[in-house]
Amino acid sequence: MGELEPVFPLKAVMFQILFLLVAIALEAMVLRQKMHLGYRQSVRYAAAVNLLTVVVGWFAFLAIEPLIEPRLQAQVISYVLFDNLINNTLKPQMGWIILVAGLGAFFITLMIKLKGLELLMRTMGNWKLPEKPKDLNRKERYSRSRTGTTRYQEAASQFAIAVLQANALSFSAILLLLVLRSYILRNVA
């Protein structure tokens, strides 16, 4: 058996950079609008959390990849390196596998971005959630009994919704780019 040649997935790296730039731009826009941040600050936060998710994602991929079934491993490597799926018994089910993996990636990146952004904002001193109230005045007790939420819970949910919207927008844009790339490659080739 011959020696294997190392392969550098240049196309995958270039698309990862393109997707990262798209995600940073879109998420910075949402963070700026929803969290009332400045332009520079929202871009920094979006870049930091997206770089964090990419690094965590690649480490997770490289840790999990050797553990998966060889047929699925061959499909993943073929898709990442050569941008196509090979003909094996898993090819008909790859659509469902990609869908489940995409949904899993969406929720995992959402959690990483939520915690990463919170930690980053706390570190930078920009964490704007009000402190949890210890003693409520009469008006706050009435408001809490009527809605069942506190100002802290409302601010935390607005933060989470902003990150969810940013993540959903960037994932949607990346999915659209992937569909366009696939369409263009099929019609050009």
Low-confidence ranges of the chain (pLDDT < 70): 1-5, 127-153, 189
Q: Are the beta carbons of 159 and 106 closer than 8 angstroms?
A: no
What is the pTM for the complete model shown?
0.78
- E strand or H helix at 61: helix 39-64
pLDDT number for residue 80: 75
173: closest CA among 14, 12, 30? 30
In which residue are the tokens 């390196």 written?
81
Structure tokens at 67: 């553990």
21: closest CA among 60, 44, 41, 47? 47
Can you point out the beta strands (E) in the chain? Answer: none
pLDDT in tens, 34-88: 988 889 999 999 999 999 999 999 899 889 988 988 888 888 888 777 777 777 7
pLDDT number for residue 132: 54
